[in-house]
Amino acid sequence: MIRKLPDGRYRLYSRKKNPATGKRRSLGTFRSRKAAEQHERAVQYFKRH
């Protein structure tokens, strides 16, 4: 899940909420949405290989 921050950057969050905190885990902050999308794909690949 990618969200745009007030400063214009994009942050990648986990899809599931962290049961301990009730919030989503941050998986990195990126300058462009494209970079965040590329990292999201890399994370999905890594989870299954």
Euclidean distance between CA atoms 33 and 45, whole angstroms: 18
Task: Supply the pLDDT for residue 3.
Answer: 97
Tokens 């969050």 correspond to what residue? 13
Euclidean distance between CA atoms 7 and 17, whole angstroms: 24
Task: Supply the pLDDT for residue 43.
Answer: 94
Task: Supply the pLDDT for residue 2.
Answer: 97
Residue 8 — left, alpha, or beta (φ > 0 → left; ψ -120 to 50 → alpha)? Answer: left
Task: Supply the pLDDT for residue 33.
Answer: 98
Domain boundaries, the chain: 2-48
Assessment of whether the complete model's pTM goes beyond 0.75: yes
**Beta-carbon-side half-sphere exposure of residue 31 (alpha carbons within 13 Å):** 0
Q: What is the pLDDT along the chain (49 residues), one digit of tens a residue?
A: 999 999 999 999 999 999 999 999 999 999 999 999 999 999 999 999 9
